[in-house]
Structures are given as structure tokens and as C-alpha cells.
């Protein structure tokens, strides 16, 4: 019985750790501002509590990947909101617009 509790504890900490580290790394790599550790620690604890219900039973790889990808997206959005910087959405390039044609033209190096 003790090994089941240890396995559950490892699951409860591993999945949120991977989710949090990769989400924070992706956010920083995309040019996002990393909040202070005083905000990161409670956010990690919240992530652990959010993922803990899924650690009760073994998960299929597809379910765990869905949880990781979805969790990273939510974490990135929360980090963006906490950073205080406005969201910048890129507009698709319309080849018919004259101002956009210059930017859409491939450049030769």
C-alpha cells in the first residue's frame, strides 16, 4: 500500500512539473515576461492541485499529452495576463492588400 501512495505522489508532482517547466520555458522563449517568484510558486501549487485529480489512475498517453498541451496553453495565457503586457495577435498576411504585398514577398539571401 505504501508503494501506491509513493507512485501517486510521484505522478502528482511529475506531470505538473513537466507542464509548468515547459509552459514557462515556452512562454519565455516566445518573448514573454517571467513573473516574480512570489507569483510563480502559488501558480505552481495551483497547477499541482489542478492536475492532482488526474493522478489517481494510470492515464493513456493520448490523455496525458492532451492534458500537457492544454495545460501549457492555459499556463501561457495566465502568464501573459500576469505580465501586464497587452496581447499582440498577428494578423494574417493578405496578398491582395498593397501594403501587405511588400511584407509577403519572399526575400532572397
Q: Flag whether pLDDT at 26 surpasses 80.
A: yes
pTM over the 0.95 mark: no
- Place 109 in a pLDDT band, splitting at 50, 70 and 90: very low
In this predicted structure, the answer to whether residue 98 has a pLDDT above a threshold of 70 is no
Average pLDDT, the chain: 77
Which residue, chain included where needed, has cell 507542464? 19
Amino acid at each position: 500500500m505504501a508503494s501506491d501512495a509513493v507512485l501517486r505522489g510521484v505522478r502528482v508532482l511529475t506531470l505538473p512539473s513537466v507542464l509548468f517547466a515547459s509552459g514557462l520555458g515556452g512562454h519565455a522563449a516566445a518573448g514573454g515576461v517571467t513573473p516574480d517568484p512570489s507569483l510563480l510558486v502559488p501558480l505552481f501549487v495551483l497547477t499541482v492541485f489542478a492536475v492532482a485529480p488526474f493522478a489517481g489512475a494510470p492515464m493513456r498517453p493520448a490523455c496525458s499529452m492532451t492534458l500537457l498541451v492544454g495545460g501549457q496553453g492555459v499556463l501561457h495565457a495566465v502568464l501573459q495576463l500576469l505580465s501586464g503586457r497587452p496581447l499582440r495577435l498577428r494578423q494574417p498576411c493578405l496578398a491582395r492588400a498593397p501594403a501587405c504585398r511588400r511584407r509577403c514577398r519572399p526575400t532572397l539571401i
